[in-house]
Structure 1
């Protein structure tokens, strides 16, 4: 059995990449700039136990499979597998062919895989799932995200804008849609490292409260708020959004939180946010969405390594649930191309700080982030996933609205 031929047949005909086997075998064109190198028979054993994207990811994370050249270019070249996995019949054929190797080389899931314990989307389990992803290392995130420390889709005003310019543009777009003005009260749920909170306070004179389930994020954000002299306006708390004080806010921003909520939790989530808003108050919900309406499972690599318990929803479903639970929908916008560009820049940052990142969080975890950012970039570019902002308002008495006839 030629290793490269087996992998090459799984990845499809007319490969634009090279496949190099540990047995010296080759597949694909010799002129290809990127290559997939099978370092160990254990990589094949992983494909036998999990044929498709999960097996490939496990082999890459453990170093049993290497990428020569740009990982995004390689994933782009095998996009039929990376975006859609391989057909069931082909999976079974691959398992049968690799079964003898799997028997000789017993493998178990890498330690970095995580399945949080407890009842799905209970406060305790949600806290553990968030800590798994976000409480990695603030220093690591500083290298990847850059000075803004914003871990959500940026908005690029021009194709050549920097990541920092694009993140500032995103927060200003959210501020405009929420019509933030001095003295208003903003609640930012799932606030991350507090970038939206600090933007609202510094640029619009808003009294802003951010809440996050990540203790690392909250501690970093509060120190940064004090460093910038914004303590009189801004605050970030380590708190579940469901424990937010019952103050009546003028606006709520939810940037990158609903991806962590299951479908069943959406109605109560939007009802809760509506209960925290005064009549005429606005909600801007910004999140990754499914590009089609179907109840598919989260990619197993993303679920086990990156965002445990995460679930994406189609924008139509989100709009319907918002509409049925306290909000009149006033505007919707798809920014998926912007997220592809954001991930491109995050990936570039990680590569520029690769040695430091490996020293800080370990090579396996750094590989996880490199793989997931490249794969997600491809997903946004190919319309496999999208990024939507949906703007809603809590309507006042007799249908009163604070919206102008045109504009936000």
Structure 2
């Protein structure tokens, strides 16, 4: 016999919010349950505490679920913490919420308890809400951008090594064939960028948002390019510069801890931006592309590699979970918006390629790495942070699979005053 809260048990009250019934088994701390029997359920969710219930009620959707899950108030049986992809596929295809009528809603809330409508403090892994980030500066100010980057990237270089693998590359790989390894695919990505930029020995490359210096080191090592990388993450810069010296590339390569806008050098043969545009903010595109245009010599080339939205019907700001736990202030735009911004600020856009299926494979590889190194990862970060990574990577994989987001590489050139792009008639990178 289940204990009741008001007129409904917790499981009964939550089940009332499901349009097609509970698609998994739910077991609540009051002893109640709903959904399929344990031996038939694809997975079981255990709501362990009143705080977890309050998380779900005060932030319905992905944010409330993430809070309860990250805090340990919601446990999931039959689900990999490092790769909850199967869970997300099942939930997205089966879970349908309904809006109850006024009297039914009052009964549900009364049963669960009105005190559950008071939001608990979020888990420590959660970043400040947007309205409170004003103390760090206006949205996409230099100070606030630096804080947002630090929140996500200054976690633990060792943790990133475990998840990303030896390449230490936190952007979409390019798989040259179906059975390529993640490392082979990351090498191919960097070399594809180099080929699209037509890099050769002696060229000067600026890599903005360079991460751990993967593109910088590849350009120097494989193509004899003189490369400068910049990142707002101090930990990334220190790791990258140490690796440059360990590989004996210090005469060609350098990584600086600074804002890309603070680079004084100009006249570069090429600029690569691999995964930075997502952090820039749509309203800053004009300044962003103008700045990159100003860094290039006439005939210089830009490769912009970034995640994009499917269309312009969705607001650019990230969803609540991604904004609070993964990329604070992150914004995505459809590829047409980026093409227009490049054109409007001096670039002749010559090539566009969508690599979204490659990001599906990349995320699958990262989740596999996290699962294989789970115990080591927990020596570097909290259990809550590791859970966040599993949710974020598996959810992103599903979004790329469904075409909700894409990954576009765009190649633009800065023509000279006479309109000459200084390019061959056909591209040489295929």
**Which TM class, normalised by the smaller chain length?**
over 0.9
Change over 3 Å in CA distance of 1:81–1:187 after alignment to 2: farther
What pairs up with 1:57-136 in 2 under 5 angstroms? 57-68=66-77, 69-70=79-80, 71-79=84-92, 89=99, 97-98=108-109, 100-101=112-113, 103=115, 107-115=120-128, 116=133, 117-136=136-155
Q: Does residue 386 of structure 1 match 2:398? A: no
Separation of aligned partners in 2, 1:76 and 1:90: 25
Change over 3 Å in CA distance of 1:109–1:206 after alignment to 2: same
Change over 3 Å in CA distance of 1:278–1:91 after alignment to 2: farther
Partner residue of 1:293?
312
Alignment partner of 2:54 out of 45, 66, 86:
45
Change over 3 Å in CA distance of 1:259–1:10 after alignment to 2: farther
What pairs up with 1:276-315 in 2 under 5 angstroms? 276-296=295-315, 297-315=317-335
Change over 3 Å in CA distance of 1:47–1:365 after alignment to 2: same
Q: Is the 8 A contact 1:49 1:102 kept in 2?
A: no
Separation of aligned partners in 2, 1:204 and 1:34: 50
Q: Does residue 153 of structure 1 match 2:172? A: yes
Query: What is the TM-score when the length of structure 2 is the normalising length?
Result: 0.89
Partner residue of 1:349?
369
Separation of aligned partners in 1, 2:311 and 2:264: 36
Change over 3 Å in CA distance of 1:8–1:104 after alignment to 2: closer
Task: Look up the SS of the partner of 1:313 in the other structure.
Answer: coil
User: How well do the aligned residues superpose, as a CA RMSD in angstroms?
Assistant: 2.2
Task: Look up the SS of the partner of 2:379 in the other structure.
Answer: helix
Q: Is the 8 A contact 1:188 1:208 kept in 2?
A: yes
Q: Is the 8 A contact 1:17 1:33 kept in 2?
A: yes
- Where relative contact order (Cα < 8 A, 6+ residues apart) is larger, the structure is 2
> How many residues end up aligned between the 2 structures?
405
Q: Is the 8 A contact 1:302 1:308 kept in 2?
A: yes
Task: Look up the SS of the partner of 1:389 in the other structure.
Answer: strand
- Measured after TM superposition, the shift of residue 110 of structure 1 is 1.8
Q: Does residue 216 of structure 1 match 2:229? A: no
Partner residue of 2:271?
252
- Measured after TM superposition, the shift of residue 406 of structure 1 is 1.8
Query: What is the TM-score when the length of structure 1 is the normalising length?
Result: 0.93
Alignment partner of 2:381 out of 361, 365, 376:
361
Q: Is the 8 A contact 2:303 2:412 kept in 1?
A: yes
Change over 3 Å in CA distance of 1:184–1:98 after alignment to 2: farther
Alignment partner of 1:25 out of 17, 20, 33:
33
Q: Does residue 402 of structure 1 match 2:422? A: yes
Q: Is the 8 A contact 2:266 2:294 kept in 1?
A: no
1 or 2, which has the higher helix percentage?
1
Residues 79-133 of structure 1: per-residue CA shift (max 9 Å, x gap): 1599xx967x469977973464450585222222213422111111111111111
Q: Does residue 272 of structure 1 match 2:291? A: yes
Partner residue of 2:4?
none
Q: Is the 8 A contact 2:22 2:34 kept in 1?
A: no
Give the greater-gyration-radius structure (CA).
Answer: 2
Worse-matched range after superposition: 266-275 or 95-104: 95-104
Separation of aligned partners in 1, 2:23 and 2:314: 32
Q: Which runs of 5+ in 2 are unaligned?
A: 1-7
Q: Which runs of 5+ in 1 are unaligned?
A: none
Q: Is the 8 A contact 1:290 1:386 kept in 2?
A: yes
